[in-house]
Amino acid sequence: MFYRQKILLGLIEAFGGRLNNRDLQKYLFLFAQKCQREKSYDFVPYKYGCFSFQSYADRRNLTESGYLAAGDDWVLNNSGHLKSLDAGDAQKITAFQKHYASIAGEDLVREVYRGYPYYAINSEIASRLMTDNELRKIDDARPQESEYCFFTIGYEGASFENYLNRLIQNNIKLLCDVRRNPLSRKYGFSKSTLSETLKKLGIEYVHIPELGIVSEKRQELNTQADYDRLFCEYERTTLMSADKNLKALFALFKKHKRIAITCFEAQECMCHRGRVAKALTKLPEWDYPLQHI
């Protein structure tokens, strides 16, 4: 079991062994923000405020393992989870529960929205719960950039929510996946989950496998020189014959104004997406900013 899952179970236990979906997300968020230097879970702004997709993936695993009961609420099947935590974390959860024991439901939602307005920018209930002044603060937290900008982004070392927040905060409208095989052992980054989640957040997804590199060629990459040799070959072969795909990518950019191409590596110098972006900047019509996020 991952330690973050123990934190999740310990938090539910501290609140009596049962929490509804909305309260669970808010308590888990506030605990991470207020009590953890290295957060167990990250969150994105979603329909009812802060939301962790990873927590729901963990919920499925914990239900299959018998720790949680199947059903709408988060219900423990057993106890003793606080005792399985480091003493300091168990004390933090106990103190946190005492502080928030009397705050739940809509009062809890308001607490989060007031303290962290960014996480309310996609809320379907904020207009009903918040004052006009609070709604203005939420609106001010909403990303406003709308000028043309082309981005590249990698997910190495990032949580799914951290990755999604970089897209949201840069007001990206379309994500172009340039992996040849868009599969990942890391939660959230395989094509089906990634595309479905982006749709929920109002971001379109397109897969352009023709701009990818076959996995066999990505073996034994140990130094920057290894990567550079691979990418030079990639430019001489794949990109040289990818004029149609590059023009299609450029057309998508002109249509959506703020798009990103994505692959695995955190640094663009160690990822072929950096060469794709470089090839785009050499098009005669190119006169736009480029950012690696």
Are the C-beta atoms of residues 98 and 44 closer than 8 Å to each other?
A: no
* Cα–Cα distances in angstroms (integers) from residue 159 to residues 164, 179, 241, in the given order: 9, 19, 34
| pTM of the predicted model as reported, rounded to 2 decimal places | 0.94
Crossing angle of helices 191-200 and 160-169, in 10° steps, is 40
- pLDDT given for residue 171 in this prediction: 98
What residues have CB less than 8 Å from 68, skipping those under 6 apart?
9, 59, 62, 74, 75, 76, 77
- pLDDT given for residue 85 in this prediction: 97
- pLDDT given for residue 288 in this prediction: 98
Which phi and psi angles does 283 have, rounded to 5°?
A: -65, 145
- pLDDT given for residue 227 in this prediction: 87
Query: Which residues, given as ranges, of the chain have pLDDT below 50?
Result: none
Q: If we measure between CA atoms, which residue out of 149, 148, 167 comes closest to residue 158?
A: 167
